[in-house]
Amino acid sequence: MTSPSPRLDSLLTGSARPFTRPGSLSAIDKQPRQGPLQVTLLGIVGDEQGDLRVHGGVEKAIHHYPRDHYTDWVAELGEHPLLTRPGAFGENFSSSGWRETDVCLGDRIRVGTALLEVSQGRMPCWKLNDRFDVAQMALRVQQSGRTGWYYRVLEEGEVQAGDALQLVERPYGQWESDVTRFLRERARAAYQIVDAHLAKTPFMVGGRLTIADLSLAGYVYMPEDTGLAVGEFRHIEAWKQRIQDIPGWKHPYDLMPRAAG
């Protein structure tokens, strides 16, 4: 990681409330909290989710979104009231210094007395569209790779704003397996079809499987087809829906040369 121990600038929680569409609930409007908060296997005590079918749970207990991205979004969207303070993307953790290219799947992070593990990147949903009042905002987030990431909780404890985020273990920092080689090869084959700007995005960083890599992989691939859902990372979500409407798109598997016989 580029910054050894950034600080948790803001710790945020939210309550599930009626949202923009009939019958919908959301806790995306998270607010900063002061003082220590308890962290359990299901996340921060006092934090809620509006739809437990797709949000929350042990694999998505805490969402971390880099504050560094806010200037990028202002440049892209213009001034927006949501971008003047942390919490615009419904994150629980806001910090500066770590981006998706700095964080690897399986990284273990000590913050306060809790031990967390990076479990997956975020799959944004339609609620970002409505929250920002920007058409296809969720798709923009995913295509940009500025998704943030989720933690699972390995050891319960307390966290508070100002705590250091300390990388204590990177068990998969040099994961150069058949899975990563497979994904890299598929990415090269699919870049020109999926989106021109993706051709400029480095897929692998020094042999590490970063959250940025997973964001791209999720945009291009279906884990059930690629074998990305391996071992303890079997809960990584498929992002197939994001690419179905791209003109001329074919599954990357169809673009790869076949071995004779």
CA pair distance 13, 21, nearest whole angstrom: 22
Q: How many C-beta atoms surround the C-beta of residue 65 within 10 A?
A: 24
- The domain spans of the chain are 10-169, 178-255
The pLDDT value recorded for residue 154 is 96
> Going edge to edge, which strands form the sheet with 149-155?
31-32, 10-13, 93-95, 62-66, 149-155, 114-121, 108-111, 165-169
Residue for token pair 């997956």: 120
Write out the DSSP string of 20-69.
Answer: SSTT-EE----EE--S-EEEETTEETT---S-TTTS-SGGGSEEEEETTH
The pLDDT value recorded for residue 87 is 97
- Reduce the DSSP state of residue 255 to 3 states and report it: helix
Q: pTM value?
A: 0.74
User: How far out from the chain centre does Cα 175 lie?
Assistant: 19
The pLDDT value recorded for residue 51 is 84
CB 34 within 8 A of CB 192: no
Residue for token pair 């910090």: 95
Interacting residues of 223 by C-beta distance below 8 A, sequence separation 6+: 229, 236, 237, 238
pLDDT tens for each residue of the chain, 261 residues long: 445 689 999 999 999 999 999 999 999 999 999 999 999 999 999 999 998 887 889 999 999 999 999 999 999 999 999 999 999 999 999 999 999 888 888 889 999 999 999 888 888 888 999 999 998 898 888 888 899 999 999 999 999 999 999 999 988 765 544 444 545 555 554 444 444 433 444 444 444 556 666 565 554 443 333 333 333 333 444 444 444 444 454 444 444 444 444
Which of 3.40.50.10860, 3.40.50.150, 3.30.70.2190, 2.40.33.20 is the CATH number of 10-169? 2.40.33.20
What residues form DSSP beta bridges with 10? 94
The helix, strand and coil proportions of the chain, stated in percent and rounded to the nearest 5, come to 30, 20, 45
The pLDDT value recorded for residue 3 is 57
Beta strands in the chain (DSSP E): 10-13, 17-18, 25-26, 31-32, 37-40, 43-44, 62-66, 93-95, 108-111, 114-121, 149-155, 157-159, 165-169
Q: What interhelical angle do 211-220 and 178-194 show, nearest 10?
A: 60
Interacting residues of 70 by C-beta distance below 8 A, sequence separation 6+: 83, 88
